[in-house]
Amino acid sequence: MTSREYHYKVQIFYEDTDHSGVVYHANYLKYFERAREQIMGAAELVRLWREEGLGFAVYRADISYHEGAEFGDELDIRTTYAKESDYRLIWTQEAWRPGGHKPAVKALIHLVCLDRDKQLKPIPPIPD
């Protein structure tokens, strides 16, 4: 089962770009991470770590770049997730430019849940 689609806005600042004025490729991973954190809730992530010793790690990231966002753009990060197993969530994330007809960047991010000893644990419920 796939979640509903979530939206997270990202304003592109000059510091996000490279010498050509296009967003530096690695920054999209930051934007996607922020969007996932917004969905899961920072307070819940802190609670999971402090009280249960659980955290998330990226197991795999597949990313495709189709069009570079530019200084001044406001991206719409569109996110859905699906629970592939008791131990893995797959997040589909897309960065859309204003007026875009296709995603500028698309990623499939596989997350796993680990305890403090880096042992694999079942994914806890995600607030929806």
Residue 128 lies in a domain: no
Q: Residue 99 region, left (φ>0) first, then alpha (ψ -120 to 50), else beta?
A: left
Residue type for 96, please? W
Residue 96 lies in a domain: yes
DSSP 62-110: EEEE-S--BTT-EEEEEEEEEEEETTEEEEEEEEE-TT-SS-SEEEEEE
Q: How far apart are CA 6 and CA 39, in angstroms?
A: 8
The yes-or-no verdict on residue 1 having pLDDT over 80 is no
Residue 65 lies in a domain: yes
In-domain check, residue 64: yes
Domain of residue 90: give its range. Answer: 6-121
| pLDDT at residue 2 in the model | 83
d(CA 33, CA 28) in angstroms, rounded, equals 8
Structure confidence by residue, pLDDT tens digits, 5-47: 999 999 999 999 998 889 999 999 999 999 999 999 999 999 9
Q: What is the CATH number of the domain that holds 19?
A: 3.10.129.10
Please identify which of the residues 18, 62, 86, 115 carries the catalytic annotation.
18
CA-based nearest residue to 91, from 29, 45, 14, 42: 29
Does the active-site annotation cover 76?
no
What domain count does the chain have?
1
111 touches 60 (CB < 8 A): no
Question: pLDDT by residue (tens digit) across 98-112?
Answer: 999 999 999 999 999
Quick check: helix, strand or coil at residue 37? helix
Kindly state whether residue 127 falls inside one of the protein's structural domains.
no
Answer yes or no: is 1 within a domain. Answer: no
Owner of token pair 């960047």: 105
Encode pLDDT of 58-80 as tens digits: 999 999 999 999 999 999 999 99
Within-domain flag for 85: yes
Q: What is the DSSP letter of 48?
A: I
